[in-house]
Amino acid sequence: MTQQRYKVIFQPAGRQGWALPGQTLLDVARELGVYIESICGGHQTCGQCRVEVVEGDFPTFGIHSSAQHLSPPDEGEQACAERCGLKPGQRLACSARVQGDVVIHVPEESRLKRQVVRKDATTRTFRVHPALRLAYVEVAPPRLEEREGEWERVARELAQRFGYTAVAPELDLLRDLPAALRQGERHITLTLWQERRGIRVRAGFHDDLYGMAIDVGTTTVAGHLVHLRTGHILTTVSAMNPQITYGEDIMSRISYVMQHPDGLTRLHRAILDGLNDLIREATDRVGLSPEDVSEVVLVGNTVMHHLLLGLDPTSLGAAPFTLVRQDAVDVRARDMGLDILPGGNVHILPCIAGHVGADNVAVLLAEAPHRVEGEIHLVIDVGTNGEILLGNRESVYAASSPTGPAFEGAQIRHGMRAATGAIERVRVDPQTLDVRFKVIGEERWNNEWPEDALDAFDPAARSRRHRHRPRVVKARGICGSGIIEAVAELWRVGAIDDSGRFVPGLEEETPRFLPEGTKGAFVLAWPHESATGEPILIHSDDIRAVQLAKAALYAGAKLLMNRRGITSVDIIKLAGGFGTTIDPVHALLLGMIPDADPARVRAVGNAAGDGALMALLDREVREEARRLARWVTYVETALEPAFQEEFVAAIPFPHARDPFPHLAPFLEAAEPWRSQRRARAQNARRRRRRRK
Amino acid sequence: MTQQRYKVIFQPAGRQGWALPGQTLLDVARELGVYIESICGGHQTCGQCRVEVVEGDFPTFGIHSSAQHLSPPDEGEQACAERCGLKPGQRLACSARVQGDVVIHVPEESRLKRQVVRKDATTRTFRVHPALRLAYVEVAPPRLEEREGEWERVARELAQRFGYTAVAPELDLLRDLPAALRQGERHITLTLWQERRGIRVRAGFHDDLYGMAIDVGTTTVAGHLVHLRTGHILTTVSAMNPQITYGEDIMSRISYVMQHPDGLTRLHRAILDGLNDLIREATDRVGLSPEDVSEVVLVGNTVMHHLLLGLDPTSLGAAPFTLVRQDAVDVRARDMGLDILPGGNVHILPCIAGHVGADNVAVLLAEAPHRVEGEIHLVIDVGTNGEILLGNRESVYAASSPTGPAFEGAQIRHGMRAATGAIERVRVDPQTLDVRFKVIGEERWNNEWPEDALDAFDPAARSRRHRHRPRVVKARGICGSGIIEAVAELWRVGAIDDSGRFVPGLEEETPRFLPEGTKGAFVLAWPHESATGEPILIHSDDIRAVQLAKAALYAGAKLLMNRRGITSVDIIKLAGGFGTTIDPVHALLLGMIPDADPARVRAVGNAAGDGALMALLDREVREEARRLARWVTYVETALEPAFQEEFVAAIPFPHARDPFPHLAPFLEAAEPWRSQRRARAQNARRRRRRRK
């Protein structure tokens, strides 16, 4: 006599199989490899495993599916349905028992691997399948005739209810276990890493689980604090990299390590302190504690990667640019010195090669040129090191370009990072050379500010009204995108020539130009528009710094294009974590990117940060990252003679050699004032030459 | 065309197989699963893989074996042979290439799993197959066209040369790697744990590897420092458990934790400090540093086990005596707070049940009653907790008995632990009541000491000759075996009665008896025999403490015998780490063990420490320990009503109820003085009773 069995089909996975009468849907799903979320392992506590019956006839399967073919909701399920807000028709898979053939729909939110879409600067889809899992366990009270310990009892539940048979508890967990069992009346929630390391125990039921994805830049450190089960970003924080006091770029940091016996320790300590402050700021903001963060994913260039781990970066300073470790690293937070959950995990994405780091891998993950069929994509991540990717499904070339920190507001007289008060947008009137600007934290451009906000700066007045909300957020400095636009606009209107010098006679045209020998500066914001009461300027030296930075990016991109034997690309993506996104036209005006139709240039925000976030939310992305890091073709710019040559040619605006036909329509509006000023510069140059 | 192949046979393993011409013997051995030691993985550096050719005809295999069938020693092998002292006829398996059929003998010292025999209190055989291995690696210099990091290069060598494909480096190792590669000119030695965790890197070639096995007793902590590759004990150290200031037995330690908010932290810190001091003492003695210790195996009772790990032992204080963790624990030294190699491992043997700990498992490993066919063995490990095992191959019962610290010299007026100056042997003359004793660190009994050493104590005299070696080591106190013998001897000669009281009128017989009301004390060593100038006494209270201790041991043993339904055992083993071993006759005189022929009672020294050592030296023993911990039948003495009853009956000497026929011959010599004194006591008791 064969036992009665029923057919169960799970949609949209399409898996089908047989169930014994009375088996729960969760059980059947597990047997069929259908991954349904469950924190409580079938205690009708978490309400995560909600499913729906698809009713009707399914001739292909030869069955009739009906809600009547499941056991009716029992008390536990009814209580949970109310508490967790189950929709009509939804059932708990852990409670509903099979009594006939059924077709079951597993909604997205109940899937163990689910997708969430974020609409931000760019719309991205993240898959949520974190390395961390929660497991709610009800532990039977100990009895005298049992010799096993409390942990063994917990381990048995994990094996029976969840199928996790190899969980090793951290010592911290064992230490906290007796109190948690007592306080939770033997109901506890465990946090597990990769289902094999027990890293936390809490009394009672919990469904919150947090992580941070942090992009550790040479100049700026920026992180997202996220709920690991929902993929929801709770807050985003950023700060200067405190290592900046030891050198502004990676080479000067390496020098510092080489020249000081405690240099490595200092730089390691500095970035750890910085990260710990950042994590505390993020958790404080949303009422959590750093201990609530169970995992952190870090990305950074190879020097940041080494300094984060306390590894000597000296060998990265000279050929053959040897990494101490290339592959991804998983290290316990306590071992690294990161103040999150001590047994929590820190994952650092792999490096590609000596000068091509985990940040490049993160950009690759986020922008995925390797998934593009046909079209060639150029991805440029603007930072103190520019990370450049070029290619498509066939092959992707990667390089790192020593941009310098200009685009992150460092090495710029009034530069600042993208924070409230930073000028992020600039427009210069071609005729009057008047300036309009927009500041982070203020919706209106400065010419739309109310009259009374434009009073001359008066500290006493400020203190009298300090309890009132200020009428406008005034300017405090210029951030990356503001610097790009300011310089691009000055060149567009002809106030600076192709070599980056202010044209002669500007002081007669506008009080905004402040001559200073052969140099000079241009006022973006007047004292009454600034929060400090001092004018905010773009100085000749700032323009020079921008030229070197954009030349490095352009030369890097050009080098990869030459390698691949192409002279133009189909899509350009501009990434960078500096406040607002870079305007494609201004990037073209500067000659920061190869000539292209601006419609084919896309600003994609903080791609490295998003790549880190993807790896944080989905454990499988980490494996993909390791594969990609080995698959990508890397180009070592530091050793390419052609790089130096391309770099020099890219210093003038927009370029000494390469044509930029797509720029013409954007220069038109500024004529004839532009021509006039450029002619003046040419004459002056000729005169000088004759005098010599 | 088939390729030429040769037959290779390895002895004594008896494995045989085929080799290609030119294959090294080490390669062939690996393919056949013959484990030959090699640190250098075939670089002819370590000289570990020495083998011998067995020459002659082997008709069973149909081959002729000859030394000529191996390639002659090349330069590398010749250099190594000289440096490492290869015997004539010995070859390096990594260098000798197969050129014909050979039979190869692998000597014991070349085997990966080898045996060493130690002759000590007991002769024991230890198998050496530690969890740690050394791997000497020569790392190719990095080249520009390679993207891999230094660690990836090392990992590739480990995979190719040793077959270790899954070694994860500790962060410390990565941090030390660049300097080690530089200093060792790219030759390094790695320390690996279980072939999967890289825990140390050193520049150049090294073949030393150290570990410690420590028995953490409630009162005494004792450890062996050993060379893990040879099994050689470098030194043995012991000290008081510093937790003793928080309570003398495990129950008082639990109370301390319950009554003080920081009690757990204090006790945890105290034992860690104690262990760290002990490890430093051991390494200092032999010119090593604590960082050279790569692994520690710890055993202890369940409360020590919990306090070592910082786990709350409160639940062990009351039924159902719940452990937080029963199974064996592997934890990194850094996480536990043990100052050895930070990435080194600490292994704690499993507990059996609430009151039956890892020390019992260790005794089980060392004495192995579960391997005995037929005969019933009783093993008693005397400590502040008595660990008791009873049984044979069929079944073994285990219990723990609350002995108290008397046998470790605590709770005894002049008690001390087994160290230089401790009285370890005592004989009392039945007629004169004169005392002979022997002190640890002094070969001669006190009656053999030179006359001039017996001068009255004179501190000034001592300081005058302090630069000379003292003529004798005088007594400083009494250790466990001395206490046992002193009390047993006093009862044997009739100076104390069965209830443990001094008999009346002793003060008239000997000046050694110092009356004190109804109590009194007996002088073992006169002031001139003592290092302090004060007499060393056995006080009535000390005798009482010994009675309670021996009664607990006897009752525990009796309980297990009753459980198994037997009234006598075949072999009794007395273990304990107190200086010298316990004398079987004196143990019987006290009634510490059930009656038996003294020839069937064996003193086996520090069995728990030896069990820990076995687990340290052989990773497979750890698996056996886990298996045994689950297999053994445990008896919870604290909850057995019969235990209390047996305990009370065992307080008198030798027992209130059970006969000790085997004692008769040992009492004979003391007659008639014994009878006379016992009669005096009986008369006195009668008189007292009449007076009331």
In the DSSP assignment, the letter for residue A504 is: T
What ipTM was assigned to the predicted interfaces of this complex? 0.88
Residue B221 contacts A where some CB pair is shorter than 8 Å: no
Which two three-digit tokens encode residue A94? 């852990």
What pairs with residue B475 in β-bridges?
Answer: B530
| Contact status of B174 with chain A (Cβ, < 8 Å) | yes
Query: What was the pLDDT predicted at B165?
Result: 95
The reply to whether B81 and B49 lie within a common domain is yes
Please state at what angle helix A607-617 crosses helix A619-631, rounded to 10 degrees: 130
Q: Residue B467: what pLDDT?
A: 47
Residues in chain A: 692
State the DSSP string of A494-541: TSB-TTSPBPTTHHHH-TTEEEETTEEEEEEE-GGGBTTSS-EEEEHH
Does A102 lie in the same domain as A27? yes
Domain membership flag for residue B674: no
Q: Do A347 and A230 belong together in one domain? A: yes
A530 and A553 co-located in one domain: no
Which of B485, B509, B537 is the last residue in one of the domains? B537
Secondary structure of A367-413 as H, E, C letters: HCHHHCCCCCEEEEECCCCEEEEEECCCCEEEEEECCCHHHHCCCCC
Domain boundary among A520, A537, A554: A537
| A389 and A435 inside one domain | no
Q: What is the pLDDT of residue A306?
A: 97
Q: Which pLDDT tens digit goes with each residue over A269-315? A: 999 999 999 999 999 999 999 999 999 999 999 999 999 999 999 99
Query: Do the chains contact at B171 and A336, CB–CB below 8 Å?
Result: yes
User: Which of B424, B547, B575 minimizes the C-alpha distance to B486?
Assistant: B424
Q: Which domain holds residue B70?
A: 6-112
* B533 shares a domain with B414: yes
Taking only residues 359 to 418 of chain A, the set having a beta carbon closer than 8 angstroms to any beta carbon of chain B reads none
Domain match, B156 and B188 both: yes
Selected for mutation to probe chain A from B272, B311, B640 (highest A CB count within 10 Å) is B311
**In whole angstroms, what is the distance from residue B114 CA to residue B128 CA?**
5
Instruction: Give B344's contacts in chain A (Cβ within 8 Å).
Output: none
Which is it for strands B197-203 and B187-193: parallel, antiparallel or unpaired?
A: antiparallel
8 Å CB contact between B649 and B655 = yes
Residue-wise pLDDT for B676-689, tens only, equals: 999 998 998 898 88
Last residue of one domain, picked from the residues B360, B378, B393: B360
Least CB-CB distance to A324: which of B178, B309, B335?
Answer: B178
Give me the residues paired with residue A425 across strands. A438
Query: Does the CB of B148 have a partner CB in chain A at under 8 Å?
Result: yes
B230, B256: one domain: yes
CATH assignment of the domain containing B272: 3.30.420.480
Residue B217 lies inside a defined structural domain of this protein: no
Note whether B261 contacts A: Cβ–Cβ < 8 A. no
Report if residue A684 sits inside a domain. no
Q: Is A637 in contact with A354 (CB distance < 8 Å)?
A: no
Q: What pLDDT, in 10s, does the model give residues B22-52?
A: 999 998 998 888 888 888 888 888 888 999 9
Give the residue-averaged pLDDT of B420-436: 95
What does the pLDDT look like over B273-296, one tens digit per residue? 999 999 999 999 999 999 999 999
Whether B658 maps to a domain, the answer reads yes
B276 φ/ψ sector (left φ>0, alpha ψ -120 to 50, else beta): alpha
Name residues 634-663 of chain B within 8 A of A (Cβ). 634, 636, 639
Judged by DSSP in three states, B546 sits in helix
Give residues with Cβ within 8 angstroms of A458, minimum separation 6: none
> Do A513 and A456 sit in the same domain of this protein?
yes
| Pair (B497, B528) in one structural domain | yes
pLDDT at A496 over 70: yes
Residue A317 contacts B where some CB pair is shorter than 8 Å = no
Length of chain B: 692
Counting one residue from chain A and one from chain B, the pairs whose CB atoms sit within 8 A come to 121
Mark whether A530 and A416 lie in a shared domain: yes
Residue B311's closest chain A neighbor by CA?
A175
Which one of A281-295, A517-531, B227-241 scores highest in mean pLDDT?
Answer: A281-295
pLDDT of residue B667 exceeding 50: yes
The overall average pLDDT reported for chain A is 91
pLDDT tops 90 at residue A33: no
CATH number, domain at A164? 3.10.20.880
Interchain pair B152, A327: CB under 8 A = yes
Residue-wise pLDDT tens digits, B98-139: 999 999 999 888 888 888 877 665 678 899 999 999 999 999
Q: Evaluate whether residue B37 is within a structural domain.
A: yes
Tokens found for residue A23: 């088996």
Number of domains in chain B: 5
| The predicted structure's pLDDT at residue B578 | 57
Instruction: Report chain B residues whose CB lies below 8 A from the CB of A151.
Output: 324-327
Give a yes or no: residue A654 inside a domain: yes
Domain membership of residue A476 (yes or no) is yes
CB-side neighbour CA atoms (13 Å) of A302: 32
C-beta atoms of A144 and B331 within 8 A: no
The DSSP element (H or E) to which B345 belongs, if any, is strand B345-348
What integer pLDDT is reported at residue B419 of this predicted model? 85
Comparing alpha-carbon positions, the chain A residue that sits nearest to B315 is A178
CB-CB neighbors (< 8 A) of A312 in chain B = 175, 178-179
Question: Nearest C-alpha of chain A: how many angstroms from B334?
Answer: 9
Note whether B578 and B623 are same-domain residues. yes
* Three-class secondary structure of residue B513 per DSSP: strand
- Any B CB within 8 A of A113 CB: no
| SS3 category, A582 | coil
According to the model, what pLDDT value does residue B622 have? Answer: 98
Find the residue in B nearest to A182 (Cα): B315
B57: domain CATH number is: 3.10.20.30
Number of C-beta neighbours around residue B102 at 10 A: 29
Judged against a pLDDT cut of 60, whether residue A469 lies above it is answered with: no
Handedness of CA B43, B44, B48, B50 (dihedral sign): positive
Q: Is B388 part of a structural domain of the chain?
A: yes
Question: Residue B199 and residue B207: Cα distance in Å, rounded?
Answer: 15
Express each pLDDT in B449-490 by its tens digit. Answer: 987 766 544 555 555 544 455 678 999 999 989 999 999 999
Distance from CA of B622 to the nearest CA of A (A): 17
User: CB-based contact (8 Å) between B146 and chain A?
Assistant: yes
**Interface contact flag, A327 B146, Cβ < 8 Å:** no
Contact B171 A636 (CB under 8 A): no
